[in-house]
Chain A
Amino acid sequence: MEQQIVKVKNKRGVKVIPGFGFSMGVTLFLLSVIVLIPLASIFLSTARLDFREFWEIVTSRQIVSGYIVSLSCSFIAALVNVVFGLMLAWVIVRYEFPGRRLMDGLIELPFALPTAVAGISLTYLYSDQGWIGSFFAKAGIKIAYTRIGITIAMVFVGIPFVVRSLQPVLEKLDRQYEEAALMLGAGRTYTFFRVILPELFPALLAGFGLAFARGIGEYGSVVFIAGNIPYKTQIAPLLIMTKLEQYKYADATACALVLLLISFALMLLINSIQLHMQKFSKC
């Protein structure tokens, strides 16, 4: 509710709060040094190819199949993460029960565990000989070395993004509206979907976007569980690594550039949807 205030232009058109120049300076300086200047190298390196070569590389069948695997799996993984992330954030913020703090603390684990270790452990669990995988194998479902396995690894690396995006917003959420809705006779389910969820939507979307983007780029944990069969379970980052192993820098950066542009477009889209929604709810 209060978020819109910021987005509305200061009516006087004057910046009252001091520190604009200084913060802008620090922000731009660090952003350029750490992100933008190194990033420019991708463009420089790709520019060694002419457009036809570039197009041929990024539309070759293997690369396209890699993109499809990465995008579809991480999309599903991000959806799963949104559902469970919402539940987790809700449970952690709203309920008091023994083990809540432990639950809260566990959320960061996928970050701290090196991705390769996560990949090896997940494969161990989900292969048809593993603790969980053997269970599913009886039902004829193979998890490790299929796209389901890839999705699971991506769920693993993406959980913290959704939970941690939602948590601060959920904590700050004003309960008056819920209470009002409940008092006015709305059911709990109705209240949740009509009152609470719209409030959380921007944060949910942000979390979805981050988890999705992380999944697309994920390499370390996925290669172990993926099986890496061409056209079936080969992810895009692996194909980029393959290009590098062949000393084809320009090809590798071309593929990387496409991946980057997809993620960047996604981020911009999500940002503008957020903005759009805020404007609407303001009216």
Chain B
Amino acid sequence: MVLKTMKKIKENVCLSLLSISLLGGILTGCGNSSESAGKENAAVELLNVSYDPTRELYVSYNELFCKYWNEKTGQDVTVTQSHGGSGSQARSVIEGNEADVVTLALAHDITAIEEAGLIEGGWEDEFEKDSSPYTSTIVFLVRKGNEKNILDWNDLIRDDVAVITPNPKTSGAACWSFLAAWAYQQEQDGQDEPATQEFMKKLYQNVLVLDSGARGSTNTFVENKQGDVLLAWENEAYLSMQEYPDEYEIVAPSISILAQPSVAIVDSNAKSHDTQEAAAAYLEYLYSDDAQRLAGQNFYRPSNETILKEFSDQFDLGMNLVTIEDFGGWNEAYKKFFDDGAIFDQIYEN
């Protein structure tokens, strides 16, 4: 008898838990999407889908923006943040993650959202400087003292040097590194492509571990002490330096690439949430002096020249930076270098 009742109770509990959780889940889901009905002085909610290392930046920036927006309009605004690999974040927006704004690592990822029909064409010109409020570049992180004397790209193909970089097929940073190395060798060889390809092959033969993301590579280099040099985002290299001040140093190669993380309003979502105005202001305000300084403090290069100069002791402003336009834009570069069967795949064949 006791067993019977116990079982009964148990079953009831199970069933009610099940229904509660499923219902609750669905309700929260609905709730989120219908909240935007409130207007005027009601709070605005924004969802900013961004990539991995920008969290600290946006935590401070959101505070700054909320204050600014409240003073300007009297409205309260709450910003929900989402971080992950740039490519998978873009995918999540395409697949239904209802972002109002995206602030991703590559213009290519935003173009993918545009192609899915969620962002209107011409977003690159919607904000200043190709819609890139801050930029970054690729630098070398080496162990303190730089015993192997790694100074530029041609040192990376020496037999005694082991390189750590992520896989360009899964990591944006790795694409930039690849292109920077390519640009360097093109200049050395006078645009001779087969020779450059041979150089790249040697370089990738020196790659010890090809992690799937930039963070994985940093971990391999910093925590597991693999390799002699890490090809890293400038801002991530500074973060590693901050964590282990006495163990690493940054080497700026003679040529590198200007990486332009891009921002855009996801028009179709902003429209259905009725947040266009706030979303536009959110991205616009990234160009304000305060926000630009914030970017600099988080090791991103401010796109505002005057404010960039304020950080001249932090960044090596003498680097020769090529841009993606030198490769004919992202789509072309991607097709040529990283698509299935393209140059990167050829490097690893045989």
Contacts and interface: CB of A to CB of B under 8 A. Distances in A.
A touches B in complex, CB < 8 A = yes
Interface of A: 60-62, 120, 123-124, 127-130, 144-145, 223-224, 227-231, 238, 241-242, 244-247
Contacts of B167: 228, 242
Nearest to B167: A228
Contacts of A238: 170, 212
A264 to B, nearest CB: 26
Given A124-B224, A144-B224, A224 B216 contact: yes
A242 B167 CA distance: 9
Interface of B: 85, 87-88, 91, 94, 112, 167, 169-170, 207-212, 216, 219-220, 223-226, 339-340, 345, 348-349
A205 to B, nearest CB: 32
A245 B85 CA distance: 10
B170 A241 contact: yes
9 contacts: A61-B349, A123-B224, A124-B224, A127-B224, A224-B216, A230-B345, A242-B169, A247-B91, A247-B94
A94 B210 CA distance: 46
A62 B350 CA distance: 11
Contacts of A223: 211-212, 216
A143 to B, nearest CB: 12
A238 B348 CA distance: 16
A90 B208 CA distance: 41
- Residue from B85, B212, B216, B219 with most neighbouring chain A CB atoms (10 Å): B212
B212 A127 contact: no
A229 B112 CA distance: 27
A228 B210 contact: yes
4 nearest A-B residue pairs (beta carbon): A127-B224, A230-B348, A129-B225, A245-B87
- Residue from B91, B112, B216, B345 with most neighbouring chain A CB atoms (10 Å): B216
A242 B212 CA distance: 9
Contacts of B345: 62, 230
Contact of B223 (A124, A229, A241, A245): A124
B210 A227 contact: yes
A244 B345 CA distance: 17
A241 B91 CA distance: 12
Given A124-B224, A127-B224, A245-B170, A228 B88 contact: no
Given A127-B225, A242-B169, A228 B209 contact: yes
A145 B112 CA distance: 33
A68 to B, nearest CB: 16
Given A223-B211, A224-B216, A247 B225 contact: no
A149 B36 CA distance: 50
Contacts of B223: 120, 124
A123 B225 CA distance: 11
Contacts of B88: 244-245
A60 B223 CA distance: 35
B224 A246 contact: no
A167 to B, nearest CB: 23
A127 B226 CA distance: 8
A201 B247 CA distance: 54
Given A241-B170, A242-B169, A120 B339 contact: no
Contacts of B209: 145, 227-229
Contact of A229 (B85, B94, B210, B339): B210
A228 B220 CA distance: 12
Contacts of A230: 210, 345, 348
A119 to B, nearest CB: 9
A220 to B, nearest CB: 11
Nearest to B88: A245
B199 to A, nearest CB: 18
- Residue from A123, A127, A129, A245 with most neighbouring chain B CB atoms (10 Å): A245
Given A144-B224, A230-B210, 7 more contacts: A145-B208, A223-B211, A228-B209, A244-B91, A245-B170, A246-B169, A247-B112
Given A120-B219, A223-B211, A238-B212, A145 B226 contact: yes
Contacts of A61: 349
B91 A130 contact: no
A127 B224 CA distance: 6
A224 B219 CA distance: 9
Given A130-B224, A241-B170, A227 B208 contact: yes
